Amino acid sequence: GVIPRAHILFYPGTAIRESLLLRFPSLSRVSLSLKNFAALQVSVREREAEALWCVAEHVCFLMDRTGFVFEEAGAENEGRHYRLERVATTSPIGRAVIESERLADLLTFLRELEQLSLEPRRVVFGEAHEMSVVLSSGVRLLLKEGAYTKALGSMQVLLRDEVLPEVGDELSVYYIDLRYGNKVYFKSK
């Protein structure tokens, strides 16, 4: 009975924090603190986009490095981030669509492809952990999800030994199939 229930010391911090995170998925962290026992100070940190998560051709969302989808992506984001595609019928906003470790491994693989002078633009997830990486030239790299080290090694050998047909500076193939371990298949244009 000494301190009234409406006093600032009894504010519902957890409930406020959870409701803000639920209402605004673009926030990654919310901190609450008392300022001079008269005001509540709210500090927030927004999520940073790491990739696009697309569920249809023109329906994409921003995703952070943890795999959490937090808002719809505008057209201005199309060229800035890798485009990860998986067909879905519901909105992924407010939930993680891929584990952070899997996403980190995939993004590392895409950056390593860039170091080989290949320009990955899209990743299309398929059935049974199969996926394809579409390069800017239109060439598709077919591989198993998670087998990035093996696929990268095979690509390095193919490029170093000049096995793949080229026209100018671009590969002249429709696809390169890296799903079968040491056996690599490709179809020439």
pLDDT value, residue 68: 95
Whether residue 90 has pLDDT greater than 70: yes
Residue (of 3, 44, 12) closest to 25 by Cα position: 44
pLDDT tens by residue, 159-172: 888 878 777 778 88
Q: What does the pLDDT average to over 18-40?
A: 87
pLDDT value, residue 71: 93
Q: What's the predicted TM-score (pTM) here?
A: 0.83
pLDDT tens by residue, 100-136: 999 999 999 999 999 998 999 999 999 989 999 999 9
